[in-house]
Amino acid sequence: MKFTTKLYWILPLLLVSVLSSCKKETDFIYGVTDVDIQKPDANKPNVKSTFTFISIAYSDLFGTTISQSQLVELQTAYAGFGDQRLIEQLIIKNFLNDSGIDIPTQSEMNTNVEQFIKDSYVKFFNRLPNEFELWHIENEIAGDNTITPEHIYFAMMTSNEYRYY
């Protein structure tokens, strides 16, 4: 009888200690905090109209507004062509081939690549690049000495993010 009496006392104590010791800690796991991740262009829901796209692209490259006659001429070409992405690329190439554009030289870009990238992002996307974008473009420029500011500008101006505001 003594053994069963002890068992009645030990068994509940053992059960309580086991149940109280199996507590999952959720307050702190590996020092990682939750981060809300969004696309950089997530706050740009509106597509630029053709007039807006052409006007902004011209202003970004030439530092002045486009004339009404040029705008109408480009708008007509834009509307008359089926593939809008292709005509956008042709318009941007045409702008970049003009001698009057306001663009840094190759040596200015190579002097301070990080600043060139940041200035380009602000100019075209109205934001600073995130760390990955900065790292990736710096590595591309460092790895290929044939990349010019025109290449970077063309890539940015034909990107999906540039199409939205």
pLDDT band at 18 (very low <50, low <70, confident <90, very high): low
Q: Which amino acid is at 98?
A: D
Among 44-48, 71-75, 116-120, 137-141, whose mean pLDDT is lowest? 44-48
pLDDT of 3 higher than 60: no
Residue 100 tokens, joined:
């009057």
d(CA 95, CA 55): 11
| For range 121-147, the mean pLDDT | 93
| For range 116-120, the mean pLDDT | 95
Q: What is the pTM of this model?
A: 0.70
Gyration radius of the chain over CA positions: 30
d(CA 158, CA 88): 7
DSSP 151: H
d(CA 114, CA 53): 27
pLDDT band at 137 (very low <50, low <70, confident <90, very high): very high
CA 85-115-36 angle, to 5 degrees, is 70
d(CA 104, CA 148): 9
Q: Give the model's pLDDT for residue 102.
A: 83
| For range 68-83, the mean pLDDT | 84
